Copies of this chain bind each other. A is one copy, B any other.
Amino acid sequence: MSMFSGLSAFPLTPLRDDALDEGAFVGLVGRLRDAGVDSITALGSTGSYPYLDRAERARVARLAVEHAAGTPVFVGVGDLRTSRVLHRIDDAEAAGASGLLLAAMSYQRLTDDDVFELFRTATEHTELPVILYDNPGTTHFSFSIELIARVAALPGVAAVKIPSVPADPAAAQERVDAVRGSIPAGVTIGVSGDASAANGLNAGCDAWNSVIAGTLPAPALEITRAAQEGRPADAVAASERLAPLWNLFTEFGGSIRVVAAIAEMLGLVGERSLPLPLQGLTAPQRARVAEVVRGLGLTA
């Protein structure tokens, strides 16, 4: 099985007084390693990569590899500027990363050719495998199937991370099949959008790039293992039990504030662990999160 298969957990990168909270981050990595996730992706969107400086990102990469104790660590190397992406790659390599996650971060709108050349430049710069990270909700760039095909054909691209698949299983299957049909054999597909992960895995995605697993690995592993072991209905049922959580992701404008609130509530990270200007959830929103987490028995 590919190193890129299974459950990849995306931990937060907690801050404390605007500095990296190393102890809390190491604790999160250890929690994921002990839970038995298949890989850890540091510095994904949930890991606040665009908010951190070069030294902070290099340090996070080193800590993740050091404390993952053999669990493969992938490191997010996205940046607005190509030359900075290459610096991030150098630092991730030096840290001992097993692979690189590259998003098409944008400020000015990017063309398909801009993004293709970014990936070409990045993959030519490194021998590490690269994961194409399609995350239009934050990057404001959407990969077409045609562009996925062009990028995935680059030597060095090992996996493609796609956004949420449709809730309807047939439509999910169609979407995953379309991606599969456009990429070389051996390139794996990961699904993100936690609420749609069971559907994505059941439709043949190789991996789940999971926000919730970065903080609560156990329920994410339950879904992943059910799908992997050919128990699709169990995967869907396990995901549906978490519906109150997925609903909070939608209602509160994205997942990062909700998982940060959970991690803060469980004492895994300190209060106000997100980089400002992200203030995190309000007190009434946090109360709602706590109620849902307790109701689902996820306080361990």
Q: Which residues of B sit under 8 angstroms from A276, Cβ to Cβ?
A: 81-83, 117-118, 121
Interface size on A, residues (CB 8 A): 35
A111's partner among B18, B107, B253 (CB-CB below 8 A) is B253
- Asked if B138 contacts A277 (CB within 8 A), the reply is no
Q: Does A143 touch B at the CB level, under 8 Å?
A: no
- Asked if A80 contacts B108 (CB within 8 A), the reply is no
**Once the chains are docked, how many angstroms separate the CA of A117 from the CA of B278?**
10
Q: Does A254 touch B at the CB level, under 8 Å?
A: yes
A83's partner among B18, B45, B81, B82 (CB-CB below 8 A) is B18
A254's partner among B18, B108, B113 (CB-CB below 8 A) is B108
Chain B nearest Cβ from A121, distance in angstroms: 8
Chain B nearest Cβ from A45, distance in angstroms: 7
Q: Does A110 touch B at the CB level, under 8 Å?
A: yes
Chain B nearest Cβ from A286, distance in angstroms: 14
**Once the chains are docked, how many angstroms separate the CA of A216 from the CA of B204?**
54
**Once the chains are docked, how many angstroms separate the CA of A277 from the CA of B106?**
9
Q: Write out, one digit per residue, whether chain A residues 87-109 have a CB within 8 A of any chain B CB (1) or not (0).
A: 00000000000000000010111
Q: Which residues of B sit under 8 angstroms from A110, Cβ to Cβ?
A: 277-278
Q: Write out, one digit per residue, whether chain A residues 179-223 have a CB within 8 A of any chain B CB (1) or not (0).
A: 000000000000000000000000000000000000000000000
Secondary structure at chain A's binding surface: helix, strand, loop or mixed?
A: loop
Chain B nearest Cβ from A261, distance in angstroms: 14
Chain B nearest Cβ from A90, distance in angstroms: 15
| A256 in contact with B108 given A113-B279, A277-B82 (CB within 8 Å) | yes
Q: Does A169 touch B at the CB level, under 8 Å?
A: no
Q: How many copies does the complex hold?
A: 2
**Once the chains are docked, how many angstroms separate the CA of A50 from the CA of B109?**
13
Q: Does A288 touch B at the CB level, under 8 Å?
A: no
Chain B nearest Cβ from A245, distance in angstroms: 18
Chain B nearest Cβ from A48, distance in angstroms: 8
Q: Which residues of B sit under 8 angstroms from A117, Cβ to Cβ?
A: 276-277, 279
Q: Which residues of B sit under 8 angstroms from A256, Cβ to Cβ?
A: 108
Q: Does A151 touch B at the CB level, under 8 Å?
A: no
**28 residue pairs bridging A and B, Cβ less than 8 Å apart:** A18-B82, A45-B107, A50-B80, A50-B107, A51-B80, A51-B81, A80-B275, A81-B275, A81-B276, A81-B277, A82-B277, A83-B276, A107-B138, A107-B139, A108-B138, A108-B254, A108-B278, A109-B253, A110-B278, A111-B279, A113-B282, A114-B278, A115-B277, A117-B276, A117-B279, A118-B276, A118-B277, A140-B140
Name A residues whose Cβ lies closer than 8 Å to a Cβ of B: 18, 45, 50-51, 53, 80-84, 105, 107-111, 113-115, 117-118, 121, 138-140, 253-254, 256-257, 275-279, 282
